[in-house]
Amino acid sequence: MKLLKYILPLAFFCFISCEDLLTEDPKSSLSSVNFYKTKADAEAAVYAIYNPIRSTYSFIDWGGQFTGVEDYAIGTGIYASLTEGVMNSASISRTDNAYKAFYEAIRNANLVLKYVPPIEMDETDKNALLGEAHFLRALSYYLLVRSWGGVPLRTEPVESIAQTSLPRATSGEVYALIVEDLKYAESNLPNDQQLAGRPTKWSAKTMLADVYLYTEKWQEARDKAEEVITSGVYSLVPVTEASDFELIFGPTAITSSEDVFSLKYSRSNGSSSTATQYALPNSAYSPSGWGSFYGLPTFPLLRDWDHNDLRWQFNIYTSYPTRDGSIVQNPSDRPILFGKFKDPDYAPGAGNDFPIYRYPETLLIFAEADNQVNNGPTQKAVERLNMVRRRAYGYTPTAVSPVDFTLQTASTAQTFRNLVLKERAYEFLCEHKRWFDLVRTKTVKQVTLEAKGIQISDNFLLFPIPQQEMDNNPDIGEQNPGY
């Protein structure tokens, strides 16, 4: 079991990794204006934003839709059709659930932003809670816009049927709100939080850097990443052997020196973090595993991965322990399995937290964005890339090592960017990053064709707007193409 590092207020038990989580759903209380009277009410309202985001049928299934089609994995069961670049009814039902959950989080954030300001309490504390709501609303819209394109921009809580009608905003308008929310968050969130799992100003800055990178605002991405790096708040967790990565991804890890923002899960509340998606059902790595994804040694990303890289040793396995302790080879039709998230003591849920942002991402954002700004790599960009690479091989991140890239090996802008993108693929394997890297660099069709022989259509790059939204929102406009 994860141990509590701090004594938590009861309301926070609704989402933090801990031993006992309340089952009461506070959302039903939030519709009443009379709920918002005290600081404790304001805190409870903010904590309620997290539940929809971290639920099994929102964030986890949302990410699974991408994993099945990425160039290192094949999906099984409900994810099998995705490997062929096809969204079937089972996939659509899951994306519908995610869409609904993200908007539920947005509604809860909007309730906070509407009803918390009049509460009499310390203004710094109040602004920090409002900053948290802005951050989580930005995160929800960021999840939405990259997956569905332009969506309705709801900045007020939907408290009547009359408020359900709203046209789709453009993607640009959604990104504008995301940036606005994150700027508020970075100005009002604290430098640090006593409780793991809550965002800080550095979380907001990191997400801003990521949004700028995704929208190709290279200088803004570079400069915002630099703010986080030079703050000295974070550092790479030292690794000398593969098992050391458990300090970051293991089920008992509460936080780490590179944890910028994570979704927190607990063994005790029946939550299903990504540990369940990757392990086979008879595996000791997750007794209730679904075995949803596997890889093939012919996939270029896996084929070319240096086995001296400790991330390969930690992430990839071809044999595994069963629950009775025996070691068996992977099934012949699933030769490569992924072990980043595993919990041998899953009962009744997995304790592995899910990282949204880790410190290595700021280093790699800086490296890529600085390269784009300068139309070629600088020594500083190469050094930031090397910091991540050195740690991966067990070397000190800040000292010269035998695995370093140089300005000579990364001689052109495209060569260096390719090195950064491959490093991102290995560093963030199974963290829902690869698909979006391929989409934003406009290489998804080429890469998946080369890896799997799959022809990805333009329609597949966005999920369908849920039919319920189409039916109940007369102003929604056109469905995404192909659905």
- Which residue reads 């070319």 in tokens? 304
Secondary structure in 3-state letters for 375-388: CCCCHHHHHHHHHH
* CA–CA separation, 101 and 22 (whole Å): 19
| Cβ atoms 68, 78 nearer than 8 A | no
User: Pairing between strand 319-321 and 327-329?
Assistant: antiparallel
Q: To the nearest 5 percent, what fractions of the chain are helix, strand and coil?
A: 50, 5, 45
* CA–CA separation, 390 and 396 (whole Å): 6
DSSP for residue 161: G
* CA–CA separation, 83 and 102 (whole Å): 25
Which residue(s) pair with 320 in the sheet? 328
Backbone angles phi, psi at 355, to 5 degrees: -75, 130
* CA–CA separation, 40 and 11 (whole Å): 8
pLDDT on residue 82: 86
* CA–CA separation, 418 and 244 (whole Å): 27
**Can you give the pTM of this predicted structure?**
0.93
| Cβ atoms 18, 2 nearer than 8 A | yes
pLDDT averages per 10-residue partition of the chain, 483 residues: 34 34 36 79 96 81 87 92 87 92 96 96 97 98 97 90 86 98 98 95 98 98 98 98 97 95 83 76 84 95 98 97 93 95 82 94 98 98 98 98 94 96 98 96 95 91 95 94 91
Among positive and negative, which fits the CA dihedral 379, 382, 388, 393?
negative
Distances (CA, A) of 383 to 206, 229, 389, 428: 19, 13, 10, 19
User: Pairing between strand 337-338 and 316-317?
Assistant: antiparallel
Q: What angle do CA 351, 356, 359 make, to 5 degrees?
A: 105
N-term to C-term CA, the chain: 44
pLDDT on residue 34: 73
pLDDT on residue 265: 87
Question: In 10 A of CB 308, how many CB atoms?
Answer: 11
Two tokens, residue 227: 């703010």
Distances (CA, A) of 264 to 134, 163, 274: 19, 32, 12
DSSP state letters, 41-97: HHHHHHHTTHHHHHSIIIIIHHHHHHHTTSTT-EE-GGGGGGGGT---HHHHHHHHH
Element (H, E) at 327: strand 327-329
Two tokens, residue 187: 């100005």
DSSP for residue 19: S
| Cβ atoms 392, 408 nearer than 8 A | no
Burial bucket for residue 92 (CB in 10 Å: 0-12, 13-18, 19+): middle
pLDDT on residue 16: 35
Q: What angle do CA 390, 396, 402 make, to 5 degrees?
A: 50
DSSP state letters, 88-151: -HHHHHHHHHHHHHHHHHHHHHHHHHHHSTTS-S-HHHHHHHHHHHHHHHHHHHHHHHHHHSS-
pLDDT on residue 447: 96
* CA–CA separation, 154 and 472 (whole Å): 15
Which tens digits make up the pLDDT trace of 134-178? 999 999 999 999 999 999 999 998 877 767 789 999 999 999 999
pLDDT on residue 398: 97
